[in-house]
């Protein structure tokens, strides 16, 4: 019927608007390297903040002692304690607890959020066993992983530039987030020194390097997306401090805020951005990351329901609720291999309360998932390729066997198989056969938490 033809038309237009042929990916990668240069040249020189992390030495393996880490990301935060045993022992013992953040705390006041965090940390400290022994007279030390853009003023302090990923707490912006945490710890009577403040990408880079000396960059694909890499200190014109002995500095790109005329943006993306807590910002993040992929899918389905009676004569009311389709639901539907796509059917029933769907409708839904996820995955690959280009590691050097390893982490990368496989194959496509051999993508599981603890260890007040 005409209605079905309209469904197919909407699908086709989406496919066209989301297309990422290799030539486009190269343009995106080139634009990324241009913006990297601009962001390193001057403060505010680019949409890419290219933040200086104050990490000029990555873990060597020698780190030892007992440290805490706290990882505040998007939907959950994790508290962790690790016992580091140096080159031989490595991570001797590790305990962690995950706590989900009550949604109302993401948009209320700074004190409320940090009180909640400090309390959870205090509760975790209270469960410390005998095997984590703190030497007499010592204060506990913490590496604080904070996955939002921060202008660092030292390794252990920095002011919040803005919230992202569904957080919006006005009174934290411009404040020292370590100060906010310390005040909250004092309020709950927890005595602990915040030794290192690190972005999750920087933590993942540190955690990755601890196990693999060839790690040069880290990428997070989770609720949001971001990347960090090791830059040569003399290639950072905006850095006016002393050149670090190592000659290197880890840069937190904040690549989620990247945008370019080369990005394939659709009508759905523009409206999603318009309706978001941070319109005009985090444009790359809004087409790549886990917070948004399911929401893009919802918007396309809503258009199909509205304009082409996709779910019948009326639009399922649930389909009008923003963010009701979560990315894990999308990935479950995308990976449905049953002949009648029964997972797709049951997801649509559970989430949208659509009692029955035909096979051809389910097939359309899977195609939508594929189009939306592939665009995100291929653009992530283009970003990584951009970093490798900036580092001069995108082509094989004659007679050199230099390896470049990218440490990846985040729930999207870890759990959305189609996404991560597409990302890796697109990166290979960009690099070509020869250079692909010297580039490796690894999953640095929980690297950000361990990484923060490692950085706290190497910057301990007792060294």
Contact residues toward ligand ADP (CB under 6 A) are 73-75, 147, 222-224, 290-291, 327-328, 331, 410-412, 415-416
> Annotated catalytic residue: which of 56, 176, 200, 329?
200
Pick what 328 binds: Mg ion, ligand ADP, none; C-beta below 5 to 8 Å, kind-dependent.
ligand ADP
Tokens in use for 387?
A: 């970093």
In our burial notation (b when 16+ CB lie closer than 10 A, e otherwise), range 45-77 reads bbbbbbbbbbbbbbbebebbbbbbbbbbbbbeb
**Smallest distance from the beta carbon of 317 to ligand ADP, in angstroms?**
24
Retrieve residue 198's tokens.
């690190």
Candidate list 47, 49, 162, 165, residue with the active-site label: 165
290 makes contact with Mg ion (CB under 5 A): no
Tell me the two tokens of residue 204. 């993942």
Minimum CB separation of residue 448 from Mg ion in Å reads 6
Nearer to ligand ADP, 65 or 74 (CB): 74
Q: Which does 158 bind (CB under 5 to 8 A by kind): ligand ADP, Mg ion, none?
A: none
Query: Closest CB to Mg ion among 225 and 266?
Result: 225
Closest approach of ligand ADP to the CB of residue 416, in Å = 4
Q: Are strands 64-72 and 140-146 parallel, antiparallel or unpaired?
A: parallel
| Partner in contact with 225, chosen from Mg ion, ligand ADP, none, beta carbon below 5 to 8 Å by kind | none
If you compute the radius of gyration of the chain from its CA atoms, what whole number of angstroms results?
23
Q: 3-class DSSP state for residue 226?
A: strand
* Residue 290's binding partner out of Mg ion, ligand ADP, none, with CB under 5 to 8 Å set by partner kind: ligand ADP
Least separation in angstroms between CB 335 and ligand ADP:
9
- Cα(195)–Cα(287) distance, rounded to whole angstroms? 35
Helices 359-390 and 22-41 sit at what angle, rounded to 10 degrees? 40
Look-up of token digits 């030495």? 57
> Least distance in Å: CB of 392 to ligand ADP?
30
* 73 sits near Mg ion (criterion: CB under 5 A): yes
Active site residue 165: yes
Q: How far apart are CA 221 and CA 416, in angstroms?
A: 10
Q: How far apart are CA 143 and CA 454, in angstroms?
A: 8
Q: Which residues are catalytic?
A: 165, 200
Sites of contact with Mg ion (CB under 5 A): 73, 200, 222
């Amino acid at each position: 019927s005409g209605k079905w033809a309209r469904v197919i038309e909407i699908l086709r237009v989406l496919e066209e608007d989301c297309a990422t042929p290799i030539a486009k990916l190269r343009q995106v990668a080139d634009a990324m390297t241009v913006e990297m240069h601009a962001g390193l040249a001057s403060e505010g020189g680019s949409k890419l903040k290219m933040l200086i992390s104050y990490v000029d030495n990555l873990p060597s393996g020698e780190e030892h002692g007992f440290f805490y880490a706290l990882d505040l990301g998007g939907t959950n935060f994790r508290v962790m304690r690790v016992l580091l045993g140096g080159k031989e022992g490595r991570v001797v013992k590790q305990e962690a607890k995950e706590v989900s953040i009550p949604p109302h705390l993401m948009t209320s006041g700074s004190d409320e959020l940090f009180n909640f965090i400090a309390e959870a940390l205090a509760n975790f400290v209270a469960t410390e066993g005998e095997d984590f022994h703190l030497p007499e007279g010592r204060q506990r030390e913490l590496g604080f992983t904070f996955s939002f853009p921060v202008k660092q003023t030292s390794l252990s302090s920095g002011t919040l530039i803005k919230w992202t990923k569904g957080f919006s707490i006005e009174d934290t912006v411009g404040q020292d987030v370590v100060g906010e945490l310390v005040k909250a710890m004092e309020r709950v009577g927890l005595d602990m020194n915040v030794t290192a403040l690190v972005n999750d990408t920087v933590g993942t880079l540190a955690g990755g390097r601890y196990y693999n000396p060839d790690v040069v960059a880290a990428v997070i694909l989770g609720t949001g997306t971001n990347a960090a890499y090791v830059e040569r200190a003399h290639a950072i014109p905006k850095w006016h401090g002393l050149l670090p002995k190592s000659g290197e500095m880890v840069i937190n790109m904040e690549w989620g805020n990247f945008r370019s005329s080369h990005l394939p943006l659709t009508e759905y993306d523009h409206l999603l951005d318009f309706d978001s807590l941070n319109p005009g910002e985090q444009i790359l993040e809004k087409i790549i990351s886990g917070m948004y992929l399911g929401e893009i899918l919802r918007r396309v389905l809503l258009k199909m329901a509205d304009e082409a009676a996709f779910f019948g004569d009326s639009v399922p009311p649930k389909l009008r609720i923003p963010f009701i389709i979560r990315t894990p639901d999308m990935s479950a539907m995308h990976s449905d291999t049953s002949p009648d796509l029964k997972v797709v059917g049951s997801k649509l029933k559970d989430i949208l309360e659509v009692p029955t769907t035909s096979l051809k409708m389910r097939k359309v839904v899977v195609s939508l998932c594929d189009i939306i996820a592939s665009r995100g995955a291929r653009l992530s690959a283009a970003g990584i390729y951009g970093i490798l280009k900036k580092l001069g590691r995108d082509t094989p050097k004659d007679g050199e066997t230099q390896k470049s390893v990218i440490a990846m982490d985040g729930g999207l990368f870890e759990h959305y198989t189609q996404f991560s496989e597409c990302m890796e194959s697109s990166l290979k496509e960009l690099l070509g056969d020869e250079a692909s051999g010297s580039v490796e993508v690894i999953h640095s599981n929980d690297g950000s938490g361990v990484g923060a603890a490692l950085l706290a260890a190497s910057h301990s007040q007792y060294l």
